[in-house]
Amino acid sequence: MVLAKQVPDPETPPSQFKIDESTNSVVPPNGVPPVVNGFDLNAVEAALLLRDAGADVEITVLSVGTDFVMDSMKKTLAMGADRLVLVDDDGLDKIDSAATVKVLATVIEKDGAFDLVLGGRQASDWDQAHVPLGLAEVLGLPLVSLVQKLELTDNGITVQRVITDGYQEITAPIPAVLTVTNELGEPRYPNLRGIMQASRKKPEVFSLADLGLSSGDLAPKLKLTKLYVPESNQQVELIEGENEADSGKKLALRLREEKLI
């Protein structure tokens, strides 16, 4: 099972990024469709690499949200995933990570047996990295974060976990939850055959009612009080002197005046 979130395109020009401060929400830019979170595409690639290595796996991509753009979401199918499962409901418009975990856990348990849950290291919209960690807690599964390489073994799975000065090699039983980092490598680009096959596949779509959930079950744990684009008022002051030594002396004096040194 691979978690994939639909997010605003990170390549959106800054001039088109707008905030509605009255509703604490991002205004969808005209002509710039959302995309699948890039780190989640790394997770899809990780699942495909397991298949390439000879593992007999079914890869299901799962997403929770509203107003899905199928051309974007079906990219995961075009890459080689077998199924696309969407939980699409108006009640999911502004849920927090805790509610997202609840919905994901419900649909995963409803879908049946699984060996691995893979997700990106974080989502490019909020950059919180909460959901896979919370999901592992709710499902009662071991979790390894920041995975750059993985291999199935007779006893479970062996992974390389990125750390500041290298990586750790960790073994874990399965089922387990893994978050995949971009150090894994670039996700493969869908080929023509994959695109044609994806066009013929229909996603499986569920509502909250289908899962036995309601908006009341998804009360937020976090409260967003203000969302805004910070203003930058930086000013540059050029320090000039007769030569480099004089410039350095004047710079030091100026920094002292500002009590920076």
pLDDT value at residue 231 = 80
The pLDDT of residue 15: 85
Any idea where the domains of the chain sit in the sequence?
2-218, 231-261
Per cent of the chain over pLDDT 90 is 79
Q: How far apart are CA 121 and CA 137, in angstroms?
A: 16
What is the model's pLDDT at position 93? Answer: 85
What is the reported pLDDT for 40? Answer: 98
pLDDT for res 72:
95
The CATH label, of 3.40.50.620, 3.30.2130.10, 3.30.300.30, 3.40.50.300, for the domain at 2-218 is 3.40.50.620
Chunked in runs of 10, what are the mean pLDDT values of the chain (261 residues)?
96 88 88 94 98 95 96 97 96 92 96 95 93 96 97 94 96 96 96 95 96 90 89 83 92 91 88
Q: How confident is the model at residue 116, as a pLDDT?
A: 97
pTM of the model: 0.86
Structure confidence at residue 235 (pLDDT): 81
Residue with tokens 């753009």: 69
3-state SS, the chain, equals: CEECCEECCCCCCHHHCEEECCCCEEECCCCCCCEECHHHHHHHHHHHHHHHCCCCCCCEEEEEECCCCHHHHCHHHHHCCCEEEEEECHHHCCCCHHHHHHHHHHHHHHHCCCCEEEEECCCCCCCCCCHHHHHHHHHCCCEEEEEEEEEEECCEEEEEEEECCEEEEEEECCCEEEEECHHHCCCCCCCHHHHHHHHHCCCEEECCHHHCCCHHHHCCCCCCCCCCCCCCCCCCCCCCCCCHHHHHHHHHHHHHHCCCC
What type of residue is 148? Q
